[in-house]
Amino acid sequence: MIDFSYTIWILLIPLFMFVVVGLFGNRFKPIVSGIAGTSGLFVMWVLSLVTAYKYFFVLEKAADGSFQKLLAVNIRWLNLTDKLHIDMGVLLDPISIMMLIVITTVSFMVHLYSIGYMDGEKGFMRFFATLSLFSFSMLGLVVATNIFQMYIFWELVGVSSYLLIGFYYTKDSAVSASKKAFIVTRFADLGFLIGILMLSFSAGTFDFLSLTDIHGPAMSSGSGVMFLGLSTMTWSMIFIFMGGAGKSAMFPLHIWLPDAMEGPTPVSALIHAATMVVAGVYLVARLFPIYALKAPVALDVVMYVGAFSSIFAAVIACTQFDIKRVLAYSTMSQIGMMMFALGVSGYGGHEGLGYMASMFHLFTHAFFKALLFLAAGAIIHAVHSNVMNDMGGLRKHLPITHATFLIACLAIAGIPPLAGFFSKDEILAAGHEKSLMLYWVEMIVSGLTAFYMFRLYYSIFWGKDQHYHHTPHEASWTMTVPLMFLAVGALLAGLIPFSMFVSSDRMPFMSHIELGIAIPAVLVGLFGIILATIFYRKETTIPDQVFNALGGFSRAAYRKFYIDEVYLFITKKIIFNYVSRPIAWFDRHVVDGAMNGVAYVTNETSERMKRFQSGQLQQYALVLVSGVVLLTLLFTYLWTN
């Protein structure tokens, strides 16, 4: 048996960094906090890699050949009663270790990159402190031993995301974007909390080990009571998915993600592409046995929401001009595919192909999407604009960024042998087994993905030079090294035999590339790339013609299908007028009125009573004597009777 208790340090280092940099960062030069944060992340990265090696290759497997679920650390943190207690700890199983690697790798790269990117910004130290807080909370989320610990860290990542989106707090748009992100995800978390309470009420435990045990209490409870034709367990899993959908920007709770791009670009790469937004996928994967065995209807909800979000976001991504927004919608689309893959998956063995595919795509996506964002950051750093109309011909000026961006584009488009090809192929294979219609939907999504990524690529790196303020040049090594590192990840991550490590029942199995699916998928991807080449390789009028030919549809897509407007209508016109205003009136007139009334009565009474304090000695004496006389009479009366 190997002792894994040192993994607690992976959590404690960033917490320590957050406190130290946050409190004392101002005492030193800004660069010190950057170096401190980066070296802390490096230690965590090494620890995670060591843990992964020991877990997968050294630790002996369980009796049935599956990977064990280990409680490396478990502390009883909040002891309410004997049965009701909230623990904190570290749970190690294949997916949490996979997430440890993803988070520490991307976070380390982003820290290193930020030293260059944020150089000279006001609040450099605040940036690194919050980044450490984020790393701490995200790692706490993935290693959570029980659903309540997950919920606590879930909220913490929400807070750190809020702080980082609103990093430029003097900019109105950043402030409103951070508030929007916080409120929307918070609203979704309400569903999560309801789901947690329903689930743990019927199962009688918060603990993931017993919740996901296929012979455990969760599997034998909660099916009695029905509501609208669905069991308690199904409802609770749907509510929990609502929380996951909010964090992972699934339709219709996706509206915060594009606006979250107001934050600094490294933050977008870390939080809004690679780690935090996949927390919803991770949540569903964590509770997957319950979804698959106990609440198949909830799993269907996951499947449909995921599939719809992926195509919805892919269509919008084709019409946007802000490069970070294109990437944001692309992220939403890819996460939709992960959700879809979970939704089509079954439990155990080859049935669980979708589960494995989803985790695999999460893993590879983290590399190439973080790379895309960091490359976009390098471009923005060089050009000082987010809009692709201001860019063009940058391949000569930014050779490293160009090469890495191209690798990432090919990876996300699913061209073999890059990372995205393998994971997307597994997703499509899993989808093909479950539903042919959704399989074709996902096929269209991968075509659209290739199209909009190469639209982006050509608009940025090809075409004519624009009038730049100064000639764009490659940034310092701290920014290019992470790009190259992640490019290697995007090249090679797909070659990992993922199904040997991660599967729905933690039992290794072999998966193969099915040519019947891989070939059409690659062809669709190539078709998208060729289409983008025709449209955007040189400046032509074809895109405008197509845009106009599609008429209302393309305008609606450009306006993001008016979802923001619908939200504004519901909140401003309906909720504010018919709910908030009456409540505000009640508060102002009834609640405040009662308080003011009490104060008024007290004031008036004392105003009257103070006349007794006349200052006249003899008046006091008279009152005293009368009192004594009265008391004497009273006691005499009582005594004699």
Partner 1 sequence: MFEGVPLQWFLITGTIMFFVGIYGFLVRKNLITILMSTELILNSVNINFVAFNKILYPTHLEGMFFAVFIIAVAAAEASVAIAIIINIYRRLINIDVEKMNEMKY
Binding site for partner 1 (CB under 8 A): 610-611, 613-618, 621-622, 625
Cβ proximity to partner 1: between 58 and 609 the closer is: 609
DSSP string over 384-409: S--BGGG---TTTT-HHHHHHHHHHH
Using an 8 Å Cβ cutoff, are 386 and 264 in contact? no
Q: Which helix (H) or strand (E) holds 88?
A: strand 85-92
CB 174 within 8 A of CB 311: no
Nearer to partner 1, 79 or 632 (CB): 632
In the complex, what is the shortest distance from the CB of residue 175 to partner 1, in angstroms, rounded to a whole number? Answer: 51
Q: Provide the minimum distance between the beta carbon of 611 and partner 1 in the complex, in angstroms, as a whole number.
A: 8
Q: Nearest-CA neighbor of 560 among 312, 337, 386?
A: 312
Bridge partners (DSSP) listed for residue 91: 71
Task: Provide the token pair at 209.
Answer: 């080990």
Joined together, the tokens standing for residue 469 give 């303020």
83 vs 611 by CB, closer to partner 1: 611
- Minimum CB separation of residue 632 from partner 1 in Å reads 13
Residue 193 sits at the vertex; the CA angle it makes with 191 and 195, to the nearest 5 degrees, is: 70
467 or 611, CB closer to partner 1?
Answer: 611
Residues in CB range of 226: below 8 A, 6 or more apart: 232
594 or 623: CB nearest partner 1: 623
Find the shortest distance in angstroms from Cβ 609 to partner 1.
Answer: 9
CB closer to partner 1, 215 vs 611: 611
Measured from the CB atom, the residue of 12 and 630 that comes closer to partner 1 is: 630
Task: Return d(Cα 633, Cα 71) in angstroms, integer.
Answer: 80
The least distance separating partner 1 from the CB of residue 610, rounded to whole angstroms, comes to 4
Q: How far apart are CA 130 and CA 178, in angstroms?
A: 14
CB atoms within 10 A of CB 260: 29
| CA dihedral of 485, 327, 454, 320, whole degrees rounded to 10 | -160
Residue with tokens 């589960």: 355
User: How near is the Cβ of 618 to partner 1 at its closest, in Å?
Assistant: 5
Cβ partners under 8 Å of residue 513, min gap 6:
422, 425
Q: How far is the CB of 568 from partner 1 (least distance, A)?
A: 57
Give 46 or 628: the residue with its C-beta nearer to partner 1: 628
Nearer to partner 1, 601 or 622 (CB): 622
Amino acid at 154: W
Identity of the residue, 65 or 615, whose beta carbon is nearer to partner 1 in the bound complex: 615
CB 78 within 8 A of CB 86: yes
Nearest to 314 by CA among 453, 490, 415, 460: 453
Least gap, CB of 615 to partner 1 (angstroms): 3
Residue placing its CB nearer to partner 1 in the complex, 545 or 626? 626
Nearest approach in angstroms of CB 126 to partner 1 is 54
**Contacts with 258 (C-beta within 8 Å, 6 or more apart), sequence order:** 325, 328, 329, 560
CA distance 538 to 605: 85
CB of 602 to partner 1, least distance (A): 16
Rounded CA separation 311/491 (Å)? 25
Q: How far is the CB of 612 from partner 1 (least distance, A)?
A: 9
